[in-house]
Structure formats: structure tokens, C-alpha cells
């Protein structure tokens, strides 16, 4: 069978389901080509002069890496002139970026984390890009922050690129999850897996254990039971992994199952959590749900959380359904 490129896949989807219009198709292609450029920049590593800090901080007070800012610029430049977007928002920009008046405007809003896991860049560990697509509310000509504050259930598409040993693009248009792998010689994303499905059960979990003393009781209980292994209440041993790039951790869960948690703890409670709702939690929640998994903030479905600010943070529990349900039940029992 001939390999299917991302462009061919999008045309097929449009024909078969009629659910994606030409603008959405263009948007996904542009984001994918920006990810290709980011992948090239990331892979140059120490030879590209792109490692290390830039000496600036973003709106959340985090030190910006050179590649955080470069990736943001690549995504902005690729997307602002194509006529498919009404506005763009990013982890690395305080406020939404309006489409310059000299360019045509479209009906979609694009939100992204240009480089996720950027603390891993300098140590040559997988990083990624996460994105979410919303529709601009009707009648809004100059979209501001408010236009973006829609729950994740309104996402029309979501995806991420993982820059690892290979570069992969994982995409959902609301009808399953498809994985594409970058053919570096040809510069084309090739479809390598359709209908990704996360196993319901798992014996693998991902959490930053160094925060254990800060966790709330339901998380202490759940992780305590996993750590007790065969002789504990779960009756089997569990394995742990923590890459500290959400993209890489979620990608592993999509590939072989597992549960990922960044719960609210005493340390991040004043901010509401560690991960950002609009460009980390929501797109990953949509992908995970579309692959048959679940995603909650410990109490409710992540995609039903009503955002109040663009850079809002949220606790995240996602992955294999049975485990997510169990941790969520422990939280609900307590409240």
C-alpha cells in the first residue's frame, strides 16, 4: 500500500466526512509545517546555537529558553498570513496575537505551547509542541482573551508533535486519533497509525514523586496503593516513568497505556495547578478521550472546565480509563 501523507489524509477526511472545511485543512497543514521547522531547529542541538536560556521570562515568570521563543516565532510567522485564523494565543505571549490588518482573517482561533518540556532541551531529551483549535465566537471581529475562554469540549481539533528519536505528529479532528511520522529525507509527515486506542487497564503511572510531601490525601492514597505493589490492595506491581515533558509522557501513554498525573499540591495550589488548561490540558484531554481514555482534574472532566483566564492552570489526571476513574473517585469521596 502506498504511504499516505498528512495532506492526503486531510483531503480524504474532508471527502469522506465533510466535517473539516478547507480552512481547517489549511490550518493543520500550516501547523504541521511549522512543527517540521521546529523539529529541524531542535535537532541541530549544540550546533545550532539554540540551546540555553534567553535571559527573559514569560508571563508566568518562567525563564524562557532560546528555543521557546524561536518555536513561538516559527508558529506565529507560519500562521498569521494564511487567512485561516482570527487570532493566535501562546504560552509565550501575555495576550492573544491579533492577525495583522494587512492579512486576511479566518474563523479559527489557534492556541499553542510552542515548546513543551523545554527544561529537557539542554539535556537532549524529547520535547514537543501542543496545539488546540477553537472557533472564533460569532460576530467577534477583534478577538481578545475572552474569545478564547471556551471549554475544551468546543475544540474542533487538537494535536501535538513530539521531537524524539523520530518526529511524530498526533492529531484528532474529533473522530479518533491518527499518528504521522516525519520522513526527514522527504520532509513529509506519513500516516503510521490510525484509530489509536489506549488500553483501559494499566500497570504504569507517571507523576513527579519529588512532590509527594505536598500532595493531597486522595493522591497520597492512590499512589500509596500503587507503590504497595503485589502485597497491597491492588494485588500487582506497578512501574513508574516521568520524562517531565508532558508531550513525551502522554505519547508513551497513547502508545502503551498508563496514567499521567500532575495533581494540585500544596506547592502549586495558589496557582491552581502546574499545567496550563488552554494549551496543555485541553488538547491532551481531547486526544486521550478520542483514543478511548479519560481526563479529569480530579473532580470533573477537564474538557468541561470553564476557563477564566488564558494562562489558567489546572490539575491533570489522564490516561487509561479505569485508573483515571479510580483517582477521581478518591477525590470525590473526600469532598
Say if residues 132 and 278 touch (Cβ distance below 8 Å). yes
- The cell numbers describing 259, all together, are 496514567
Least distance from Mn ion to the Cβ atom of residue 200, Å: 27
Is 204 a residue that touches Mn ion (CB under 5 A)? no
Q: Quick one: which of 36, 70, 80, 117 contacts ligand AHG (CB under 6 A)? A: 117
- Candidate segments 12-20, 48-56, 115-123, 195-203, binder of ligand AHG by CB under 6 A: 115-123
Q: Which residue is nearest to ligand AHG (CB)?
A: 246
Is 13 one of the binding residues for Mn ion (CB under 5 A)? no
Distance in Å, CB of 126 to ligand AHG, minimum: 10
Smaller CB distance to Mn ion: residue 57 or 186? Answer: 57
Please report, as residue ranges, which positions from 48 to 87 form the binding site for ligand AHG (by CB under 6 A). 62
Q: Using an 8 Å Cβ cutoff, are 255 and 103 in contact?
A: no
Among 246, 295, 302, 310, binds ligand AHG (CB under 6 A): 246
Q: Which stretch binds ligand AHG (CB under 6 A): 18-26, 142-150, 190-198, 240-248?
A: 240-248
Any contact of residue 249 with Mn ion (CB under 5 A)?
Answer: no
Q: How far apart are CA 118 and CA 122, in angstroms?
A: 8
Kindly state the smallest distance separating residue 246's Cβ from Mn ion, in Å. 6
CB of 24 to Mn ion, least distance (A): 24
DSSP state, 213? G
116 sits near Mn ion (criterion: CB under 5 A):
yes
Give whichever of 134 and 246 is closer to ligand AHG, judged by the CB atom: 246
Residue range at the interface with ligand AHG (CB under 6 A); choices 116-124, 233-241, 291-299, 306-314: 116-124
Residues 6+ positions from 128 with CB-CB distance below 8 Å? 115, 116, 117, 160, 161, 162, 163, 245, 246, 247, 248, 251
User: With respect to ligand AHG, which residue has the nearer C-beta, 274 or 311?
Assistant: 274
106 binds ligand AHG (CB under 6 A): no
Position among 113, 249, 297, 323 found at the interface with Mn ion (CB under 5 A): 113
Q: How far apart are CA 232 and CA 238, in angstroms?
A: 11
Q: Shortest Cβ distance from residue 7 to ligand AHG (Å)?
A: 28
Kindly state whether residue 80 participates in binding Mn ion, applying the rule CB under 5 A.
no
Q: Taking contact as CB under 6 A, which single stretch among the options 44-52, 70-78, 238-246, 289-297 is the one that binds ligand AHG?
A: 238-246
With respect to Mn ion, which residue has the nearer C-beta, 6 or 111? 111
Q: Which three cell numbers stand for residue 92?
A: 509565550
- Find, among 209, 202, 162, the residue nearest to 322 by Cα: 202
Minimum CB distance to ligand AHG smaller for 113 or for 289: 113
Own/partner pairs, 75-83, CB within 8 angstroms, 24+ separation: 75/31, 75/34, 75/38, 75/112, 75/114, 75/129, 78/30, 78/31, 78/33, 78/34, 78/37, 79/27, 79/30, 79/31, 79/34, 79/110, 82/26, 82/27, 82/30, 82/106, 83/23, 83/26
| Burial class of residue 165 (count of CB atoms within 10 Å of its CB; 0-12, 13-18, 19+) | exposed
**Residue tagged 493543520 (cell numbers):** 28
Identify the sign of the CA torsion 230, 216, 302, 117.
negative
**Binders in 12-51 for ligand AHG, by CB under 6 A:** none
Dist. CA 264–CA 271, nearest whole Å: 9
Judged by the rule CB under 6 A, the positions of this chain that interact with ligand AHG are: 62, 91, 113, 116-119, 208, 244-246, 262, 274
Amino acid at each position: 500500500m502506498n504511504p499516505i501523507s498528512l495532506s492526503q489524509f486531510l483531503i480524504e477526511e474532508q471527502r469522506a466526512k465533510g466535517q473539516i472545511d478547507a480552512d481547517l485543512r489549511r490550518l493543520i497543514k500550516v501547523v504541521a509545517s511549522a512543527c517540521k521547522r521546529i523539529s529541524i531547529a531542535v535537532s541541530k542541538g549544540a550546533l545550532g546555537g539554540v540551546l540555553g536560556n534567553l535571559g527573559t521570562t514569560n508571563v508566568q515568570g518562567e525563564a524562557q529558553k532560546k528555543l521557546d521563543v524561536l518555536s513561538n516565532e516559527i508558529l506565529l510567522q507560519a500562521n498569521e498570513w494564511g487567512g485561516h485564523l482570527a487570532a493566535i494565543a501562546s504560552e509565550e505571549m501575555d495576550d492573544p496575537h491579533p492577525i495583522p490588518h494587512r492579512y486576511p482573517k479566518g474563523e479559527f482561533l489557534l492556541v499553542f505551547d510552542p515548546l513543551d518540556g523545554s527544561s529537557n532541551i539542554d539535556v537532549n531529551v524529547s520535547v514537543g509542541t501542543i496545539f488546540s483549535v477553537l472557533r472564533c465566537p460569532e460576530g467577534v471581529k477583534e478577538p481578545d482573551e475572552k474569545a478564547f475562554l471556551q471549554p475544551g469540549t468546543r475544540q474542533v481539533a487538537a494535536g501535538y508533535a513530539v521531537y524524539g528519536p523520530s518526529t511524530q505528529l498526533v492529531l484528532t479532528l474529533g473522530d479518533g486519533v491518527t499518528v504521522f511520522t516525519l520522513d526527514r529525507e522527504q520532509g513529509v509527515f506519513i500516516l503510521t497509525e490510525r484509530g489509536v486506542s489506549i488500553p483501559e487497564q494499566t500497570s504504569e503511572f507517571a507523576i513527579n514523586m519529588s512532590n509527594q510531601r505536598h500532595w493531597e490525601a486522595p493522591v497520597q492514597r492512590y499512589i500509596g496503593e500503587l507503590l504497595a505493589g503485589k502485597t497491597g490492595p491492588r494485588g500487582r506491581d506497578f512501574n513508574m516513568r516521568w520524562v517531565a515533558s508532558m508531550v513525551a509522557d502522554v505519547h508513551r501513554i497513547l502508545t502503551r497505556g498508563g496514567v499521567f498525573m500532575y495533581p494540585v499540591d500544596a506547592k502549586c495550589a495558589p496557582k491552581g495547578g502546574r499545567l496550563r488548561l488552554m494549551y496543555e490540558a485541553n488538547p491532551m484531554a481531547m486526544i486521550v478521550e478520542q483514543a478511548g481514555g479519560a481526563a479529569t482534574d480530579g473532580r470533573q472532566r477537564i474538557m468541561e472546565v470553564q476557563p477564566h483566564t488564558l494562562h489558567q492552570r489546572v490539575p491533570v489526571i489522564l490516561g487509561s480509563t479505569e485508573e483515571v476513574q479510580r483517582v477521581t473517585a478518591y477525590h470525590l469521596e473526600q469532598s
